[in-house]
Structure 1
Amino acid sequence: MLPRFWWSPLLCVGLLACNPQEQDKQPLPDPAVAQASDGDHMVSINVTDVPRPAPVAVPAKDRDWPEVALENDRVWISCDTDYAGENGDGAALETLERQAMETALAPCKERGLLRVRYAGKINPTFAALMARLAIVAESMGIDRRILDLDSSGGQVEAAIVAGDSIGESGWTIWVREGSICHSACVFVLAAGDNRLIAGKVGIHRMMRISSTATSRAELNKELHEVYDNVKDYLQRNGVAVGVADLMMTVPNRSVRLLSAEELKQFGLDGTNAVQDDLERIKQMRKCGDDFVRRKDAFLIAFDRDCKAEGADLDAVNTCGQALKQRFGFPDETCPDESPLSEIDTALLALPSSPVQAAATAQVPGPAAVH
């Protein structure tokens, strides 16, 4: 159910947050807090303007496909994980019209891998995009899906609608180096089955645009109902509700950047805890106890050895791919359930790069897992 109230965090946290490349060139003086400078920090949205995304399980041919404009949002479609390579972000998606989306995803069908690069606001258009992508990918049997995200924030309610769609349709979420995920974007990040973060993640207080409050007490009463909805959303995605409490302490004209340690503590980095529990139950039945023990040991080693703060995603993926050999992955019996299976798919029929070959050569042989 959509919340009764509409409110939004900062649409853009200063000029640097609007342009991640400029953020890299001009580091902020305070690494924990970035001050906004543009003053355009909130919008008013009518609840009836927000589309409810279709359930992913319903075939696309049986659904209405109303026109939705992309406006200033940018979307690229790729069938590869190598964003630094020749194909980069992939081909631009110009429209959310059904036939155009089916044509854009068709090249990804053979490999079964889809990477979507999204740079823009978290808004109803984004929610519609994610729901439609899941429907088309499902119809084509594209099971491995990556959302390569760069957003300064937007509408929290749209983020929750999009997040629920993402959570039901199996997405890994990347925030790669040079990208940001601020304010409402954090709720999208929460919904991923797995999250790999090399960019900046930031939070701040949220403001209810339709507020009629004239005192702190009245505003606090209104926000409590809103935050109850937010906390319920975080809990069903395995994220600590403490992140919502921390948001309350940061003025909405600022952004508090979360450290790598805080991202782990809040459950915003790595494997989604709720999804992990669900997968463990399924994998115990399908793949056996030994598979689950090896996967647990790999994920611990991956967090410790590969996800160094400041490492770019290409280096993280290369390290993880090499590390998997120590733990017997990809598993012959359950290859699709093996960790980082979307990277296995991306490397099928591709020659090993010098970087991958060197990384593999440096990884020790199989080790006993207890």
Structure 2
Amino acid sequence: MSLKWWSPLLCLALASCSQLENPGNVTANEAATRAPSADGDHMVSINVADAPPPTPLPASRADRPWPAAALENGTAWISCSTDYATEPGDGEELAGLAREQIEPALQACAARGLLRVRYSGKVNAGFAELVWRLSVVADQFGIHKRILDLDSSGGQVESAIVAGDSIGESNWTIWVREGSICHSACVFVLAAGDNRLVSGKVGIHRMMRISSKATSRAELNRELHEVYDNVKDYLQRNGVAVGVADLMMTVPNRSLRLLSAEELRQFGLDGTNAVQDDLERIKQMRVCGDDFVRRKDAFLVAFDQQCKHEGAELEAVNTCGQALKERFGFPDPVCPQESPLSEIDVATLPPAPTAPASEQALVPGQAEPGTAEAPGEAALAQDAASH
């Protein structure tokens, strides 16, 4: 993967900020209280000229070497279930980024074909390696349903874009669930998901180049011009409005501008990735037929209108979406894996590996046949567009 997207770091929130009067914004001090505890350090930007030269990569990402790497200021947990509300919750903590540590952690999810990664911490080089290595091993084990359950106050822009490009090639759905945040550089990671479901807080602010040698506004603007061109190109290829980058320019880096649910939809940061949707519609039209695509479109419209209310918890949103399945004829008998909420259809998924033997007929959080669905394990309705 080319590293030409070296760009500045998004400065993390500074605790000395004063209270903003605009109720749509929060100060950096407020943001820090919502951030993972390890995310309090200030980030420094990198001049393009200071970035290391790109490393030639093999044609196949599976053939790329695995150098020593580690997560810094971040923690990842592995689960084979979408149910985070009950035991075991976020799953088992990932011991490290070595192949011999990742492969055993994901092997349990191979039979089910479903992986959820909970990540809490900074967006940095270690996070970018995490996403890439998990994708390689998930390919190896045939795990094609992938969820990145994200909670991050931001970090390095260049690492966010490297991670985002890996996510965009690897069929990830991204959650920002209730109580979680996705601020600053994390927004670029959110942009890359095939689908995104947001119940937590998403916030942006201006990029900062601490290593800049600019002495005037004009010089600083010239330095940032190339950076923003790269960022806008990245957003465009992920189906996100470039207005996000323009809005970032107006928010001081010591502050934070929270995006409303309506703004997230308008910018293309919530719901189906428009670019990925175009690609998938071509395939689904050919394999599943016109009727399937029309019903899927109608389902997603109803899901947006009836289930995705601002402030709604992710669990409740998904439970509402589940109730729409039968109305629109899902799971589809011809294309069950492409159907909305296919992750928790008992007919297409084996039991989660943590289920007791006496409960192997049921998916955890799933109600017995003929009863109301329990609000335990649930997945994204938008995931039908790409899975």
TM-score, with length taken from structure 1: 0.87
| 8 Å CA contact retained: 1:6, 1:208 | no
Query: What is the aligned partner in structure 1 of residue 270 from structure 2?
Result: 269
| 8 Å CA contact retained: 2:120, 2:151 | yes
| 8 Å CA contact retained: 1:189, 1:195 | yes
Alignment of 1:156-305 (within 5 A): 156-305=157-306
Match of 2:25 among 33, 42, 46: 33
Alignment of 1:83-94 (within 5 A): 83-94=84-95
Judging by fraction of residues, say which structure has more helix: 1
Distance 2:51 2:371 in 1: 53
SS of 1:102's partner is helix
Partner letter of residue 243 of structure 1?
V
Partner letter of residue 149 of structure 1?
L
Q: CA deviation at 1:89?
A: 0.3
Partner letter of residue 33 of structure 1?
N
Q: Against the structure 1 CA distance between its residues 185 and 205, is the aligned structure 2 distance closer, same or farther, given a 3 Å change threshold? A: same
| 8 Å CA contact retained: 1:79, 1:111 | yes
| 8 Å CA contact retained: 2:57, 2:64 | no
Distance 2:319 2:116 in 1: 17
Alignment of 1:22-171 (within 5 A): 31-37=23-29, 41-45=42-46, 47-48=51-52, 57-59=60-62, 62-171=63-172
Which moves more between the two structures, 271-280 or 42-51? 42-51
Tell whether 2:348 aligns with 1:353. Answer: no
Tell whether 2:11 aligns with 1:10. Answer: yes
Distance 1:50 1:318 in 2: 45
Distance 1:336 1:255 in 2: 39
Q: CA deviation at 1:162?
A: 0.3
Distance 1:123 1:30 in 2: 30
Partner letter of residue 320 of structure 1?
G
Distance 1:50 1:196 in 2: 33
How high is the sequence identity, in percent, across the aligned residues? Answer: 71
Aligned length: 346
Deviations 1:148-172 (A, max 9, x none): 0000000011100000000000000
SS of 1:238's partner is coil
Q: CA deviation at 1:54?
A: 7.4
| 8 Å CA contact retained: 1:9, 1:41 | no
Q: CA deviation at 1:71?
A: 2.6
Which moves more between the two structures, 4-13 or 220-229? 4-13
SS of 1:117's partner is strand
Deviations 1:117-155 (A, max 9, x none): 000101011110000000000010000000000000000
SS of 2:108's partner is helix
Q: Against the structure 1 CA distance between its residues 53 and 340, is the aligned structure 2 distance closer, same or farther, given a 3 Å change threshold? A: farther
| 5+ residue gaps, structure 1 | 17-26, 361-370
| 8 Å CA contact retained: 1:105, 1:137 | yes
Partner letter of residue 34 of structure 1?
V
Deviations 1:19-40 (A, max 9, x none): xxxxxxxx99854111124895
Distance 2:210 2:58 in 1: 27
| 8 Å CA contact retained: 1:31, 1:257 | no
Distance 2:322 2:20 in 1: 34
SS of 1:279's partner is helix
Query: What is the aligned partner in structure 2 of residue 320 from structure 1?
Result: 321
SS of 1:264's partner is helix
Q: Structure 1 segments of 4 or more deviating over 6 A? A: 49-55
Which moves more between the two structures, 71-80 or 40-49? 40-49
Query: What is the aligned partner in structure 2 of residue 20 from structure 1?
Result: none
TM-score, with length taken from structure 2: 0.83
Deviations 1:248-300 (A, max 9, x none): 00000000000000000000000000000110011111111000000000000
| 5+ residue gaps, structure 2 | 33-39, 352-360, 375-387
Q: CA deviation at 1:99?
A: 1.2
Distance 1:7 1:279 in 2: 33
Q: CA deviation at 1:63?
A: 3.6
Distance 1:105 1:145 in 2: 11
| 8 Å CA contact retained: 1:73, 1:121 | yes
Partner letter of residue 36 of structure 1?
A
When the two chains are superposed, the root-mean-square deviation of aligned CA atoms in Å is: 2.6
Query: What is the aligned partner in structure 1 of residue 312 from structure 2?
Result: 311
SS of 2:52's partner is helix
